[in-house]
Structure 1
Amino acid sequence: MKPWAALPVVGAAACALQAQAGEVKVKPVAEARVRYEHVEQDGLDLDADAVTVRVRGGAQASSGALSATVVAQGTLAVLGDYADGLGRDPARPLVADPQNVALYLAQIQYQARGVTLTAGRQKIALDDERFVGNIAFRDNAQTFDAVRAEIAPLRGVKLDLAYTWSVRTIWGIDGTGGRQQAVGGDTVLANLSWDTPLGKLTGFGYLVDQDEAAVQGFRLSSQTYGLRLAGTRALGPAAKLSYQASYARQSDWHRNPNDHRADYWLADATLDVKGWKLNAGYEVLGAGKGAAGGVPLTSFQMPLATNFKFQGWADKFLTTPPNGVRDLYLGGGYGAQRLGGLTAVTLQAMWHRFDSDRLDQRYGSEVDLLASARLHATTVALRYAHYEARALATDTDKVWLQLDWVI
């Protein structure tokens, strides 16, 4: 299936909206972000200082069960003392927010009881985004040219099935080489969930076709099958326990020249008492069966995930090392829906210990800190990450100050 295959669906939606022109409702879409990011990285004499401004604007027109959404975006580097991954200032640390102008969303959608059908350029974020996500933290984010069906045939049961022919990356219109503007391929994302007494049980199968020779020589094409359980239990009037566990098996697929198998494991629990939280977890991205010392890209890879959310904000594990990675993490914090004049208040601290899955290597450790809150239409967030290297990468400190507005 190619991009033009969705045109009949788009045309049908446009005709239907036009036929009901008297009932069409139009809602504007407008949001803006200003972010300062500072990076100090051992091995580089210069630091990175980036001030970027990201704006999005568009509209959603809806009539009955049909809607059409178009959103454009632009990213401007007001202060550009950073490597953007596409040739700008390579002597400085990387900040993955290149300047960009793009069509962010262009989708039509049909919604009825138990059925949602979406075609066009869209956001797809499955479960906690560990395998498939939008990468919303980066200015340009990640979207998909796709057709998607979300079907709930029974109460508590949902099938989410998508076919995507192009992944629009965070690298924007100037993306090239291994950091392309878009990665083509016939990718199928299947996700089936069931609300059980223990929590939501999800079975998934992701056939990821990264069909671009410049992107690791097709070595990120994979088939992944797994299970995930996520639930919450009340422990009293003011306490609850949230937990999740997941297992997946990944192997090569399509044109991937590697012959490999690798496993994924996760166990995570969070205790919440009156907004105070304590979290612990252990995540393993397996090394697979590569040769001694590890063969690149035969370990468990996450090419479509929102990887910034996992394994530390210093971004040292966006690509899983050949010998895999084991992440033991402990953290705590506080969250409140309202605190004085502020809403959505979050305070968080997290510590990670990173080791290899094979050969007993101590990669390093990381501390991540976050404080965020919303005041009216403005969300303010301050983040800090400190990665202390042992056997992988170099010591790195990152600081972010971010303002978001949604109108």
Structure 2
Amino acid sequence: MINQYGYGRQIAATSLALIASGVMSSAHAGDFSTALAQTRPILDIRVRYENVDQANFLNDADALSLRVRAGLETGKVWNTSFLAEFDWIESIAGDYNSTTNGKTGFPVVADPQDVELNRLQLTNTSLPQTTITLGRQRINLDDQRFVGNVGWRQNEQTFDAVRVVNKSLPKLTVDLTYFIQANRIFGPDSAQGRWNGDNFLANAGYNLGFGTLSVFGYWLDFRESPGNASKTFGARFAGKKVFSGVTFNYAASVASQSDWKNNPVDYSVMYYLAEGSATWKGVMAGGGWESLGGDGTKGFSTPLATLHKFQGWADLFLNTPAGGIADTYAKAGYTIKNVGPFSSISLLSFYHWFDSENGGADLGQEFDISLTAAYEKFEFTVKYADYDADTFGVNTQKIWFQIDYKL
């Protein structure tokens, strides 16, 4: 009989055997001195100030934080590379609820102090057109709507997993992952910082030339969060085309989700997306519609998504309301290259109209805008979100000032 982690152990053992066989069959592909000579350092530094003005709190949240991400990645020896990376997240100043510091009288800024292992992985390419990654790793699938690293927060989300990506057939990429632990943005000191269980991710993308068609299935079963145990099946098409100097980007997606394993709620809901934009000489305009269904008891769940990318930067809809949500949005932007000392300057804005998917009630509206400038290895960002509540949540304004440096 296979225990709770039996499947994972079998998959990990198989992956190790595949890596070992590749090592033995390619003993002359490299040596340790070459791998060490090709080793590159990893350094990613971010300083950010975040202010949150939320109507149901007497005090604003003010958070000045530092994130230093450092490590190394070796070159290949026997077609295998090694990566190790640590995070140091420090609160420099301010009063805010980091989710672990106990300051519940302030709005949440989910960047708790921490020093932890961010990634630790072996990557092997011995098998033709195949990459096997074993260990703690970053995983981003499609547009990160269902699985992503939540890179906006200071502590990113990683996975203790074995992942196999195969490109043996022309234009087809098959991506399979088994993971036993999601290392979430809240860190190990939080009761919600680690979710464990038997989880499977399957994604296959076929390049049609004018876009990529992906089909996917995600089976999630978390001991710490049985309410997020689900099975999701869907398809996504995304691509772009250039006509007369205008670049058109388009995407559409549909998915169905239902309860799985130990979820105490019996439910079945749908997801839909349609969006498009046009860009000409750096000027972009577009819009879209995204619907996450709800049956009145349970809404469509995306607990592993990079949620900040979707449904407004104020993050009012990190959990889908029980009645679901329909997000109709317009977006506009402008990017200009080589302005003075900057290699690029970009302005991006959104306006969202949020409605209940089940019943059509007005939930609220939101305006978002950001300005980003790139200078050598630095990136400077100013960002603002303003949520105006109707029947969901409370009025919320957020502003960020951020500096990123990447080696």
TM-score with structure 2 setting the length: 0.92
Secondary structure of the 2:147 match is coil
How much has 1:209 moved relative to structure 2? 1.3
Alpha-carbon shift at residue 22 of structure 1 (Å): 2.4
Question: For residues 104 and 93 of structure 1, what CA distance do their matches in structure 2 show?
Answer: 26
Q: How far is the alpha carbon of 1:208 from its aligned partner?
A: 1.2
Aligned residues, how many?
392
Q: Is the 8 A contact 2:30 2:76 kept in 1?
A: no
Summarize the alignment of residues 8-407 of structure 1 with structure 2, pairs less than 5 Å apart.
Answer: 9=16, 12=20, 20-24=31-35, 25-64=38-77, 65-111=79-125, 113-176=128-191, 180-212=192-224, 215=225, 218-236=226-244, 238-288=245-295, 294-295=296-297, 298-407=298-407
Q: Once the 2 structures are TM-superposed, how far is the Cα of residue 85 of structure 1 from its aligned partner?
A: 1.5
Shift of 1:233: 1.3
Identity of aligned residues (%): 36
Q: One-letter code of the match for 1:244?
A: A
Q: Can you list the C-alpha shifts for 1:372-399, whole angstroms capped at 9, x where unaligned?
A: 0111111101100000000000000000
Q: Which moved more, 1:335-344 or 1:352-361?
A: 335-344
SS in 2 for 1:95: coil
Q: Contact 2:101/2:112 (CA < 8 Å) preserved in 1?
A: no
Residues 199-248 of structure 1: CA deviation (Å, up to 9, x unaligned):
10000001111222xx3xx1111000001000111121x21111000000
- Superimposed CA distance per residue, residues 324-374 of structure 1 (whole angstroms, 9 cap, x where no aligned partner): 000000010112453332124211111000000112211000000000011
How far apart, in 1, do the equivalents of 2:46 and 2:242 lie? 37
Question: Aligned equivalents of 1:244 and 1:19: distance in 2?
Answer: 42
Q: Distance in 2 between matches of 1:17 and 1:389?
A: 64
Distance, in Å, in 1 between the alignment partners of 2:310 and 2:210 is 24
**Preserved CA contact (<8 Å) 1:264 1:286:** yes
Letter of the structure 1 residue corresponding to residue 258 of structure 2: S
Q: Residues of 2 paired with 1:4 and 1:373: CA distance?
A: 46
| Residue aligned with 1:174, SS | coil
Consecutive unaligned residues of structure 1, counting only runs of 5 or more, are 289-293
Once the 2 structures are TM-superposed, how far is the Cα of residue 17 of structure 1 from its aligned partner?
11
- Per-residue CA deviation, residues 51-89 of structure 1 (Å, 9 max, x unaligned), is 000001111112252100000111000113001112431
CA distance in 2, matches of 1:76, 1:210: 29
Amino acid at match of 2:203: N
- SS in structure 2 of the partner of residue 22 of structure 1: helix
Residues 114-163 of structure 1, C-alpha deviations (whole Å, 9 max, x = no match): 21110000000001100000000000110000000000122211000000
* SS of residue matched to 2:94: strand
Instruction: Classify 1:18/1:240 alpha carbon distance in 2 versus 1 (closer, same or farther; 3 Å).
Output: closer
How far is the alpha carbon of 1:252 from its aligned partner?
A: 0.4
Q: TM-score, normalised by structure 1?
A: 0.92
Residues of 2 paired with 1:17 and 1:61: CA distance?
Answer: 17
SS in 2 for 1:384: strand
Q: Displacement of 1:18 after TM fit?
A: 12
CA contact (8 A) 1:82 1:88 kept: no
Larger CA deviation: 356-365 vs 241-250: 356-365
Work out whether residues 129 and 306 of structure 1, in 8 Å CA contact, stay in contact via their aligned partners in 2: yes
Question: Helix, strand or coil for the counterpart of 2:75?
Answer: strand
CA 1:354–1:48 in 2, change beyond 3 Å: closer, same or farther?
A: same
Contact (CA 8 Å) 1:17, 1:62: kept in 2 or not? no
| Shift, 1:14, TM fit | 9.9
Pairwise CA distance, 1:111: 2.5
State the AA in 2 paired with 1:375.
Y
How far apart, in 2, do the equivalents of 1:17 and 1:384 lie? 54
CA distance in 2: counterparts of 1:405 and 1:346, whole angstroms: 17
Contact preservation (8 Å) 2:273, 2:289: yes
Amino acid at match of 2:277: T
Please state how far the C-alpha of 1:19 moved relative to its aligned partner: 8.5
RMSD over aligned Cα atoms: 2.1
Distance 2:368 2:344 in 1: 19
**Distance in 2 separating the partners of 1:266 and 1:377:** 35
CA distance in structure 1 between the aligned counterparts of 2:337 and 2:122, rounded to whole angstroms: 33
Consecutive unaligned residues of structure 2, counting only runs of 5 or more, are none
